[in-house]
Structure 1
């Protein structure tokens, strides 16, 4: 195996024996094969589109397949083996669609070159899949700069696919985004493309990342209403409880509906915290708060929670034996020998009965004190106080906004974000989204004329809200360049959705982004130089130096 798609990759270069995330070599190889085959599906799907043919099942499967391989989603080889088998069937469907469209257009069958990823077939099950996966992973591309750009592109696509999949679950789709996923994946099979070609594709990925985040924002708000400023309790109360982690709002809603009147309290965890601010979800009185913090603390927090846990999307870690019998996966999440809640069939919701029965069996999980934190400050809420914000900037009450969005993780270097937040002067406002906020959202930083100094826009995909806010401020101040705003970017990254957010910011023209706790291992020196020269991307340094730069600019 070789994997360097997350920020915690071994020795900052790549995991080769076992993933720091817990991914075994077998799983890594199966995921590599899945990505390779999705490139083959995309070869046919992208080609068919050129002749006006498309298939919704093919389009959505590519997005779902990409999402499956994001860090901390699926660790189950049996599940991945079934996904690969289905990918081969989807690829056949895409090929048949392409050949029919080609014949209809040209009056003859296609006899051009077909890459191996679009034609490989060898029956034999997981052992064969694993061996082939070991041959077609990251290092198959020999040129380091082409490899770097291909991987940067693919990781951005994974993030875009995650947001697009979430939106589709809420019945919102954008064909142009689905089409780009296949266009870009197919391009990674083309050895004739140059570094400049891939740079252009990476920037195009940034454009479609913005589209995907806007699509999901529209899906969430049209389904559950615009987030409202909400104070969320972070402890526990007496009675049975279920903890819902991940990102999937529909899963949470279905759990809330199925537990109504049963005396079970529902708590959010991790990236599900912002769900407490949506009117369509907070109306359920038994949604009582958020328990726990960032994903990397889950083993300690899940053990302490005592009740059942549902993992709706990525961020699962190896379950401890002390709670393995009360953790459930659903959707694309998988862990060996963990009970999986099946997908919806037809118009029927998922059946969370096993989770509910476990909660009632366990009974009272006990009370625990907690603080209250404020969430729900997405772009709609901020627009309602835009005059107050603009006046605060003009009068000097707010000197700087600091975007500290992104991911959290294990690395001790992430203490930097807590220390920086604590050190920022009282005339600065932190704009955040994603689980990076758990590094500082419990700090007592106060407000500026009623504007909280920590503005929490929501999940990682809600970084779109921060971009919208910046663009509205640019318009309000009559500026031509977004970089003339009093905004600094201090982004924490961990996995591929953060890569998509980064590419979105670059597409919007944002320069001078500090990235930490480390720069991505998949960036070659030449590719990094391109990003530095064109966008002034730089690593975080230390609190003292970065604080001086933030305050001084």
Structure 2
């Protein structure tokens, strides 16, 4: 079967991957099963909305929707059996809710759509796929399809963040309810384009809510991130490298490796774990190894020890290290060993990967020195007087938010060059793996304030919004866009989509987005974003720099 997927920045020809495999490496079988999983989750949402009204909703239902959406994020799950198992579980939950509604005598008497009734047979799925009844191409109108995609991909990012919060014991029933309603809205042909645009903005609103929930979950569990010098060299102990985003997995691994002689290092988006006070007590937590996700083939080779993926971003591996990679949670890849989820309040069992690490050599050093980070909203608030004085005296003329994702395209060198070209009286506010384009450059400081302030993971873009709102309050401004803050964002996958929608909901305008605009934006939808929010693509460093610096 062929596939169609346009959810990430690497979509083929900036249109969509439609061959036997995507640019990311997932096969057409996996891509189509992921479409079918989303289709099935809509059936779960159909009956769970009725269960909410009847007061018989169960949390396991909300959680299966979160996990299912998370599973379909770019570079997370490449294993057809793993996705198929989730479809089967979703069907079981869907039919269980329906039966309970029947037993209670509260099931609505109406004609239900196919996603709420299909029987799960593979032959039926093949037919649906070939006839384009499943997946985003089932929507023929280009603009409606674009708006539905924007909502769906935002929901995927939202679900990822909600799942991390859930793992730390924090949930938001209003968030769960919205995700269900929005999923169903992407199948509602009665909605007008204007109504879908409103739903896009509402998705941004709940994006803010879910990032605030995750911020609360992280900081209440591990303390507020603090300014930290992170080691990027190595020492001569066997070690485990942790990639992804999940801090609960990271905590449990640290606990289980303590006293074993095995060190732990972070990789890519896990770098900000180094900033949390709770993790600093572990002497075997050494530092960060390597760079952004797309360099993993070379860096996993030289790390020598096992690698744990707690979430996306997997690159199809070399055979030379494939047997050293483990996954957990929503993540899976053919041939990788998978560490099972928690059961009955117990911790995950990382004993296998720990024993594996003991048998392997220490990491090969690929870098020396340290990098500085930990500038989430609490830390920046503590520096507020210093920052405000620097702005008032003119020592800092502008802040540039350069958050988001990194990626493989050569065009992303733009962001390194842009950072190097920025005037010395400007400061970069960053979050996400986009920072690896400039966080090791010698950009200096302004009166002791580093010129690169790293808030953390992509979800910590929330911190950057909190900082902006705080500065707006301090300077007694009416509009967040009156601040000396410019936005030059990079994106790759769906967590970046929900961050973008959250910023739009907060009223931020004139965002530059690159290295390409999303393939799922139709010309008309792109025009709406340009006219209403001033969103535009990047051009050249020189042209964009002139445009930014010309603004008052």
User: Which of 167, 170, 173 in structure 2 is aligned with 1:169?
Assistant: 167
- In 2, Cα distance between the equivalents of 1:294 and 1:522? 25
Which residue matches 1:381?
379
Which residue matches 1:523?
521
Residues 425-440 of structure 1 correspond to what in structure 2 (within 5 A)?
Answer: 425-440=423-438
Equivalent pair of 2:290/2:366 in contact (CA under 8 Å):
no
Residues 73-84 of structure 1 correspond to what in structure 2 (within 5 A)?
Answer: 73-84=76-87
Q: Which moved more, 1:267-276 or 1:354-363?
A: 354-363
- In 2, Cα distance between the equivalents of 1:390 and 1:96? 60
Which residue matches 2:335?
337
- In 1, Cα distance between the equivalents of 2:143 and 2:298? 40
Q: Which moved more, 1:67-76 or 1:246-255?
A: 246-255
Equivalent pair of 2:230/2:371 in contact (CA under 8 Å):
yes
Which residue matches 1:491?
489
User: Which of 46, 49, 72 in structure 2 is aligned with 1:46?
Assistant: 49
Question: Is it true that 1:110 corresponds to 2:118 in the alignment?
Answer: no
Q: Could you list the per-position Cα deviations for residues 191-235 of structure 1 after superposition, in whole angstroms to 9, with x for gaps in the alignment?
A: 111111111111000000000000000000000000111101112
Residues 381-460 of structure 1 correspond to what in structure 2 (within 5 A)?
Answer: 381-460=379-458
Report the alpha carbon displacement of residue 420 of structure 1 after superposing the two structures with TM: 0.3
TM normalised by structure 1 equals 0.97
Report the alpha carbon displacement of residue 365 of structure 1 after superposing the two structures with TM: 3.4
Which residue matches 2:502?
504
- In 1, Cα distance between the equivalents of 2:283 and 2:496? 33
Report the alpha carbon displacement of residue 254 of structure 1 after superposing the two structures with TM: 1.1
Equivalent pair of 1:213/1:462 in contact (CA under 8 Å):
yes
Report the alpha carbon displacement of residue 128 of structure 1 after superposing the two structures with TM: 5.4
Equivalent pair of 2:302/2:363 in contact (CA under 8 Å):
no
Which residue matches 1:288?
286
Report the alpha carbon displacement of residue 508 of structure 1 after superposing the two structures with TM: 0.1
Which residue matches 1:327?
325
Equivalent pair of 2:235/2:362 in contact (CA under 8 Å):
no
Equivalent pair of 1:402/1:431 in contact (CA under 8 Å):
yes
Which residue matches 2:188?
190
Pair 369,197 (structure 1): closer, same or farther in 2 beyond 3 Å: closer
User: Which of 172, 188, 209 in structure 2 is aligned with 1:211?
Assistant: 209
Report the alpha carbon displacement of residue 181 of structure 1 after superposing the two structures with TM: 0.3
User: Which of 524, 531, 540 in structure 2 is aligned with 1:542?
Assistant: 540
Pair 399,263 (structure 1): closer, same or farther in 2 beyond 3 Å: same
Which residue matches 1:256?
254
Q: Secondary structure at the match of 2:509?
A: coil
Report the alpha carbon displacement of residue 97 of structure 1 after superposing the two structures with TM: 4.5
Equivalent pair of 1:29/1:131 in contact (CA under 8 Å):
no
Report the alpha carbon displacement of residue 364 of structure 1 after superposing the two structures with TM: 3.2
Equivalent pair of 1:273/1:290 in contact (CA under 8 Å):
yes
Report the alpha carbon displacement of residue 505 of structure 1 after superposing the two structures with TM: 0.1
Pair 484,369 (structure 1): closer, same or farther in 2 beyond 3 Å: closer
Which residue matches 2:275?
277
Equivalent pair of 2:323/2:335 in contact (CA under 8 Å):
no
Equivalent pair of 1:237/1:368 in contact (CA under 8 Å):
no
Q: Could you list the per-position Cα deviations for residues 366-391 of structure 1 after superposition, in whole angstroms to 9, with x for gaps in the alignment?
A: 55542200111100000001111111
Report the alpha carbon displacement of residue 363 of structure 1 after superposing the two structures with TM: 3.5
Q: Secondary structure at the match of 2:230?
A: strand
Report the alpha carbon displacement of residue 400 of structure 1 after superposing the two structures with TM: 0.3
Residues 17-28 of structure 1 correspond to what in structure 2 (within 5 A)?
Answer: 17=19, 18-28=21-31
- In 1, Cα distance between the equivalents of 2:282 and 2:124? 49
Pair 345,53 (structure 1): closer, same or farther in 2 beyond 3 Å: closer
User: Which of 14, 17, 32 in structure 2 is aligned with 1:15?
Assistant: 17
Unaligned runs of 5+ in 1: none
TM normalised by structure 2 equals 0.97
Equivalent pair of 1:239/1:366 in contact (CA under 8 Å):
no
- In 1, Cα distance between the equivalents of 2:102 and 2:529? 40
Q: Secondary structure at the match of 1:34?
A: helix
Equivalent pair of 2:306/2:324 in contact (CA under 8 Å):
yes
Q: Following superposition, which runs of at least 4 residues in structure 1 exceed 4 angstroms of deviation?
A: 97-101, 127-131, 366-369
User: Which of 30, 35, 46 in structure 1 is aligned with 2:33?
Assistant: 30
User: Which of 369, 372, 376 in structure 1 is aligned with 2:370?
Assistant: 372
Q: Secondary structure at the match of 1:57?
A: helix
- In 2, Cα distance between the equivalents of 1:417 and 1:474? 27
User: Which of 60, 64, 74 in structure 1 is aligned with 2:63?
Assistant: 60
Unaligned runs of 5+ in 2: none
Residues 353-372 of structure 1 correspond to what in structure 2 (within 5 A)?
Answer: 353-372=351-370
User: Which of 127, 140, 143 in structure 2 is aligned with 1:142?
Assistant: 140
Structural RMSD (CA): 1.3
User: Which of 2, 5, 9 in structure 1 is aligned with 2:4?
Assistant: 2
Pair 100,526 (structure 1): closer, same or farther in 2 beyond 3 Å: farther
Equivalent pair of 1:46/1:186 in contact (CA under 8 Å):
no
- In 1, Cα distance between the equivalents of 2:125 and 2:40? 11
How many residue pairs are counted as aligned between the two chains? 546
Pair 152,99 (structure 1): closer, same or farther in 2 beyond 3 Å: farther
- In 1, Cα distance between the equivalents of 2:458 and 2:353? 27
- In 1, Cα distance between the equivalents of 2:250 and 2:129? 35
- In 2, Cα distance between the equivalents of 1:412 and 1:500? 25
Q: Secondary structure at the match of 1:362?
A: coil
